[in-house]
Amino acid sequence: MSKKYQKVLVTGGAGFIGSHVVDAYIQKRAKVYVVDDLSGGKRSNLNPNATFYKMSINSSKFTELVKKIQPDLVIHAAAQQDVRKSVEDPQFDAKINILGTLSVIEACRVANVKKIVFTSSGGAIYPSTQRPPFSEKVLPAPISPYGIAKRASELYLHFAYEVHGIPYVALRFANVYGPRQDWGSTGGVLAIFAQRMLKNKPIVINGDGKQTRDYVYVSDVVRAVVLAANKPLVGIVNIGTGKELSVNAIFRTLKKVTGSELPERHGPGKVGEVARSALDARLAYRSLGWKPKVSFEDGVKKTVDWFKKRS
């Protein structure tokens, strides 16, 4: 049965995924609140119909704010999302991604929030020793502090459910791409390549380019968030396509779509990166009725079109 949430709080609601979630709930005529410190999010992503608070989830005022808002539903999308940054500075990553989640949980407990939907990571949590696609039954073995923090957050959410009775769903996303994705240092490879091709700037592929990821379009991910909030499900669910795409394949697809003539250049590989990743999302279909709708080719075209309008 579908729930109608009157008040929805989105942490990280000025970010790539968070801002699309905000748009979806505005369309559903919910009262939407955004908490974002704009360290990664952008004002230009903010929906004018949402109530915005520029604040860190680690702020001493955050719990009081949530208590004042009294949201029914919290979508926790605020994060330090750069895997390489997490490797260089694990403490900084843990402060935002672990202590930040604990701050959100405590605020939800105080405000009697009905449900938390958490944006976790499928790409950074599963082991590099097994063959993808990974199901939720595969034991997590993150090799980056970012992945460790996402897994720790899932466990803290389970604690909050068992001890305080706050239902949650942790959605383990594959590699999400689409309009508004940052193409700076924290951006996804697809966004970075697309922007560089459109500006005719050289591209260096890390390693041999055979490393694979599972790419899921942002509108499909937003649908998963809404379904996870509405269904009585509690726990962890993968959101992906189950298909592996190599970095080389991404480069070639983008080259075709943008008409770029840039050569394929390779550089050294990066530490802390998983070699292969794809997610088995059959549980999402069984428990949420979710499956991806946007094909990779269509998603790439939509993403490139968006970047073109802004270049």
CATH number, residue 36: 3.40.50.720
CB 19 within 8 A of CB 180: yes
Q: Kindly report the backbone phi and psi dihedral angles of residue 10, in degrees, each rounded to the nearest multiple of 5, phi listed first.
A: -115, 115
pLDDT of residue 287: 98
Q: Which of 73-87, 172-186, 195-209, 225-239 has the lowest mean pLDDT?
A: 172-186
Phi-psi region of 235 (alpha: psi -120 to 50; beta: other; left: phi over 0): left
Tell me the β-bridge partners of 33. Answer: 9, 51
Residue 288 lies in a domain: no
Instruction: Determine, yes or no, domain membership for 277.
Output: no
**How many structural domains is the chain composed of?**
1
- Establish if 267 belongs to a structural domain: no
Q: Does 113 map to a domain? A: yes
Indicate if the pLDDT at residue 311 is higher than 80: no
Decide if 265 is inside a domain.
no
Pairing of strands 245-246, 212-213: antiparallel
**Residue 224's closest CA among 303, 143, 117, 79?**
117
Looking at the DSSP assignment, which residues form a beta bridge with residue 237?
171
DSSP code at position 131: P
Is there a domain that residue 30 lies in? yes
Contact (CB, 8 A) for 57 and 34: no
What is the pTM assigned to this prediction? 0.95
Please give the Cα distance from 92 to 254 (Å, whole number).
34
Q: If you average pLDDT over residues 280-297, what whole number do you get?
A: 97
| pLDDT value at residue 188 | 85
- Phi, psi angle pair for 239, to nearest 5°: -130, 105
Please give the Cα distance from 234 to 170 (Å, whole number).
8
User: Sign (positive/negative) of CA torsion 108, 33, 238, 184?
Assistant: negative
Q: What is the average pLDDT across 191-206?
A: 94
- What domain range is 44 assigned to? 7-178+214-241
Residue 185 predicted with pLDDT over 80: no
State CA 89 to chain mean position distance. Answer: 20
- Give the pLDDT mean for 255-284: 90
Give 187's pLDDT tier (boundaries 50, 70, 90).
low
- Within a domain: residue 289? no
29 contacts: CB under 8 Å, gap ≥ 6:
none
Residue 129 forms part of a structural domain: yes
Annotated catalytic sites, by residue?
A: 146
Rounded Cα–Cα distance for residues 77 and 14 (Å): 10
| Other residues' Cβ atoms within 10 Å of the Cβ of residue 138 | 16
